[in-house]
Structure 1
Amino acid sequence: MLSQEKLARINELANKKKTEGLTEAETNEQKVLREEYLTAFRGGMRHHIEGMKIVDPEGSDVTPEKLKEIQKKKGLHGR
């Protein structure tokens, strides 16, 4: 996850863009920070999804085979 300082800077730049506008350097900085944020977010989401185990109402494991293979490679859920 991104540091609090970087998140604060993203918000600061977003607010400045709405009120005053950004310089070219600030626009580039904002673009870099957003990409870093999205990369971290996507990585966290992927990690979360890869750790899921899907169970139907009867209690049977119905996790898709593709996900089971990923979990097996990572040693998750004793697979």
Structure 2
Amino acid sequence: MLSKEKIARINELANRSKTTGLTKKEVEEQKKLRAEYVKTFRTSFKEQLHSVKVVDEKGQDVTPKKLKDAKKGNKGFQH
């Protein structure tokens, strides 16, 4: 998870880009921070998916094979 300071900086840069504009240095900083945010988000989302277990009405595990393989570290939800 990103620190509160980095998230605040992302928001600050976004607001400034809409009002006064950003310098080239700030545009690069914004790109870097956004990339870090997206990477962190994707990692967190994959971890959430790996904790999912799909169960039908009868209580049987019907988790897709691709997800089961990803949980075991095999191929699967990796990009």
Establish whether TM, by shorter chain, passes 0.5. Answer: yes
Deviation larger for 64-73 or 19-28 = 64-73
State TM-score, norm by structure 2. Answer: 0.87
Q: What is the number of residues matched between the two proteins?
A: 74
What residue number does 1:24 align with? 24
What residue number does 1:44 align with? 44
Cα RMSD over matched residues?
A: 1.4
Give the Cα separation in 2 of the matches to 1:27 and 1:21.
Answer: 9
After TM superposition, give the deviation of residue 70 of structure 1 in Å: 2.4
CA offsets 1:8-61 (integer angstroms, 9 cap, x no match): 000000000011000000000000000000000000000100111000112110
- Greater relative contact order: 1 or 2 (C-alpha under 8 angstroms, separation 6 or more)? 1
State TM-score, norm by structure 1. Answer: 0.87
Q: Identical aligned pairs, as a percentage?
A: 55
What residue number does 1:71 align with? 71
Q: Which runs of 5+ in 1 are unaligned?
A: 74-79
Give the Cα separation in 2 of the matches to 1:26 and 1:19.
Answer: 14
